[in-house]
């Protein structure tokens, strides 16, 4: 899977994107992916938030469709991690 981080999620992870395999997850769900990413990336934003903290406020798109944490993942998807943005 391709994971793309935006805004505060990018700042906390320190990267714009990463790859994760389904075999790296405890189960093939978005929730398991979020937990794995929160454990793997331990950097912080300028305001001191970790990626795990940022992701509690995020929306997630899987192949462009907003998805909930119980969504089942497949190997060849793109996951966008979108923190709340100012404006509209």
SS3 53: helix
- The ranges assigned to domains in the chain are 2-82
Backbone angles phi, psi at 27, to 5 degrees: -150, 160
pLDDT band at 84 (very low <50, low <70, confident <90, very high): confident
Per-residue pLDDT of 28-59, as tens digits, reads: 999 999 999 999 999 999 999 999 999 999 99
Q: What is the pLDDT of residue 85?
A: 74
For domain 2-82, the CATH architecture is: Roll (3.10)
């Amino acid at each position: 899977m391709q994971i793309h981080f935006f805004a505060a999620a990018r700042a906390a992870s320190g990267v714009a994107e990463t790859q994760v395999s389904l075999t790296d997850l405890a189960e093939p769900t978005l929730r398991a992916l979020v937990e794995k990413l929160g454990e793997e990336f331990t950097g912080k934003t300028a305001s001191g938030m970790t990626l795990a903290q940022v992701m509690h406020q995020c929306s997630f798109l899987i192949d462009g469709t907003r998805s909930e944490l119980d969504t089942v993942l497949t190997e060849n998807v793109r996951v966008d991690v979108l923190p709340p943005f100012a404006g509209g």
